[in-house]
Amino acid sequence: MKRYFVVAGDIRQVTGGYRYDARMVEALRRSGRPVEVIELAGTFPGASGESADALDSALARCKDDACVILDGLVSGGLPQVLVRHAGRLRLVALIHHPLADEVGLDAELAARYRETERQALAAVARVVVSSPFTARRLADVYGVLESAIDVVEPGVDPVAGLESLGSRKHAPPSILCVATLVPRKGHEVLVQALSQLLDLDWSCDCVGDAQRDPACTRAVLGEIARHGLGDRVRLRGILAPEALEHAYAHARLFVLPSWYEGYGMVVAEALQHGLPVVSTTGGALAQTLPPQTGIAVLPGDASGLAVAMRRVLTDPVLCESLSAGARTAAASLPNWEMAGMRFVAALDRVGPCVGGEAAYFASAWLALREPVDHRSRAHDLAVLLSDHLQRRTDLAAAPQAGGSPGICEEAVGTRPLTPTLVDLGAGDGSNMRYLSDRLPQPLHWRLLDHDARLLSAVRGGRAGDVVDCEVRDLAVLSASMLAGADVVTASALLDLVSADWLKALCEVCASAQTAVLMALSIDGRVRFSDDDPMDASVGAWVAQDQQRDKGLGPALGAMAPVTLAKALEAMGYDVSVRPSDWHLDRGDADLGRALIDGWRIAAQRRSPSSEKAIAAWAARRIDALVRGELSLTVGHVDVLGLPARARIRS
């Protein structure tokens, strides 16, 4: 199996995340698993056209069924790109910390990162994180299944000839901070804390890239100058490995004032060198730093940081005790070989890509379309269905209250008071989320889908409703599958099924006098706000492709809604048909991009000789949509069928 490791820029960058990535590449190659490193141009994280194109092009050239490891900086902001390729690639997200947890983001950008990364994580086959803390964050905040997450903590290198602190007689005592100069690392807080230690003898070396965020570096230099610490605090930039090792070997105290860390590799390295550590409790640091090895303060607490450093610098007994604790803790840390073996094992657990149509319905695609689905639906059909269910509940309750049912017993019989709705191809529950607040309470939902992972992500059930998720193969429809249903419903499913499948559904529903609501079925209409010479040809190829077998027989495609309506009418149903068109513009650019790209794939499948022309068409249409110069309407239809015999007799 082919493997790729995708990172933003040069993998040789000297940060904890890039060092981790490089070590995992080494581990794969050492284990006999060749891997190609792909270094992307563009600005990451972000959703710029350049970045999206770079990632899209990189994934497009990856061989089918390859395992592709994506650093979180690359994947988190571009879920729509992942969705396009999730069907043919084994995508693995490597998350050092969630994008939205970066310090200095405004509320709007943080919220956007949370949503895009949630969608991106839903599109991958597996997730690797560098700490248990990050694993919990992804499970609690981003809805990632714990079973889909592997924790692979970083390793440490052995240190030869480690001196005890007592033998390090260098004067003045050296304080070491190893961290890239970015706001999250808290250098300004460190300088403010050091300004409270002017009565002590010390020097401080800040090692780390000072070019990544020039504004941050200027701010730190400004703080150093403001407190008159220019002769005691040095920004040393990136050091060669030998020089960094020398800095660790000659330090008396290690300090990391970060606001947040996904793990804190440099803390583990400081412990490996037997150094007492003063750090914060930001993010995973509370777990990374064992209590017997250092002192932890709240992030941003300059005074607390100063007090902690003063204690270590002025109390030799405490200093030696923490150093001994560091050496003891270091003995239990994994080395890089062990970490690499765990990473390789995690990748070996990545199953084959789901392929074809299944990827089209990945959680990320469902999340992209849900807001448009909900605003587009025929809301009056939900009202009609609500009235029907309320009548059904009232009539079912009448015999229990001692009254006369006054209805056809065949229709209601002895059904329970709580209506049961069976949602076919339920995915992660979008149809339920739309209908719940529009239907009478309480309800019993049975969500059926072949994809256990999608069902495990179901959320948003209304309080008081019962929601049961069932993994079912919908290819063979049976009466037992729909037993007890008062309503059979689905969203964006009908155009995928065959005529025989649809006939079987109608027969089962009619025999039980079950209501039917099928939403958002395509009807073949697509209108762009302007014309392109390729529109008609692409549309014809897409229509042909929509009728191929997607696992439920030769698909009806755009003929599905009219076929359903006629079948239900022939069986005595009252049928209502309403448009539920998508109207997409610049505000829906992510969905539009994914949709048009899906059409591109379908058209190229039907006309391989036109591949380049179709690709150029898709690029033109996507570019115009993103720039706000194009809008489009995609025709959909909602169909509601109510069993006529369930009416109250006059």
pLDDT tens column, 286-315: 999 998 999 999 999 999 999 999 999 999
pLDDT for the residue numbered 244:
94
**pLDDT of 606 higher than 50:** yes
DSSP character string of 309-355: HHHHHH-HHHHHHHHHHHHHHHTTS-BHHHHHHHHHHHHHT------
Place 486 in a pLDDT band, splitting at 50, 70 and 90: very high
Please provide the average confidence, as pLDDT, over all residues in the chain.
Answer: 89
Averaged pLDDT for residues 514-531: 96
Residue found by looking up tokens 């239900």 in the block: 568
Q: Which amino acid is at 518?
A: M
49: Cβ contacts below 8 Å, ≥ 6 apart: 626
The tens digit of pLDDT for each residue in 233-274 reads 999 999 999 999 999 999 999 999 999 999 999 999 999 999
Tell me what pLDDT residue 406 has: 40
What torsion, rounded to 10 degrees, do the Cα atoms 543, 548, 549, 550 define? -50
Does position 357 have pLDDT exceeding 60, yes or no?
Answer: no
The answer for 234, left when phi > 0, alpha when psi is -120 to 50, beta otherwise, is beta
Q: If you search the block for the tokens 């395509």, which residue do you land on?
A: 522
Interval 328-353 mean pLDDT: 89
Q: In what order do the strands lie in the sheet with 203-207?
A: 233-237, 203-207, 174-178, 253-256, 277-280, 294-297
Which of 9-23, 546-560, 601-615 shows the highest mean pLDDT? 9-23
pLDDT of residue 270: 96
pLDDT exceeds cutoff 90 at 568: yes
Residue 151 neighbours by CB under 8 Å, 6+ apart: 128, 129, 130, 131, 132, 134, 135
Mean pLDDT of 637-650: 71
pLDDT of residue 341: 95
478 or 510, which is more confident? 510
pLDDT of amino acid 354: 44
pLDDT at 307: 98
Q: What is the pLDDT of residue 553?
A: 82
pLDDT for res 166: 53
Among 112-126, 192-206, 236-250, name the one with the lowest average pLDDT. 112-126
* Cα distances (angstroms) measured from residue 87 to each of 65, 67, 249, 620: 9, 12, 50, 24
User: Whose CA is closest to 522, among 499, 542, 508, 541?
Assistant: 542
Full-prediction pTM beyond 0.75?
A: no
24-28, 44-48, 558-562: the lowest-pLDDT one: 44-48
CA distance 300 to 302: 6
Short-list 372, 648, 646, CA closest to 487: 646
Cis peptide before 45 (omega within 30 of 0): yes
pLDDT average, residue stretch 125-140: 92
Percent of the chain residues past pLDDT 70, beyond the cut: 92
Domains present along the chain, CATH in parentheses = 3-155+339-353 (3.40.50.2000), 165-333 (3.40.50.2000), 360-524+543-581+636-646 (3.40.50.150)
Q: Is the pLDDT of residue 352 over 70?
A: no
Instruction: Give residue-wise pLDDT tens across range 378-433.
Output: 999 999 999 999 888 777 666 554 544 443 444 444 566 789 999 999 998 999 99
Q: Six-digit token pair at 492? A: 């964006």
Cα distances (Å, whole numbers) of residue 649 to 395, 396, 419, 481: 11, 14, 21, 30
The whole-number pLDDT of residue 405 equals: 43
The bridge status of strand 3-8 relative to strand 36-40 is parallel
How far is the CA of 120 from the CAs of 61, 62, 75, 143, in angstroms? 20, 18, 6, 11
Span 564-583, average pLDDT: 96
Band (pLDDT 50/70/90 cuts) for residue 356 is very low
Cα–Cα distance measured from residue 114 to residue 98, given in angstroms and rounded to the nearest whole number = 8
pLDDT at position 649, please? Answer: 30
pLDDT in tens, 28-37: 999 999 999 9
The pLDDT assigned to 163 comes to: 60
pLDDT, mean of residues 103-126: 88
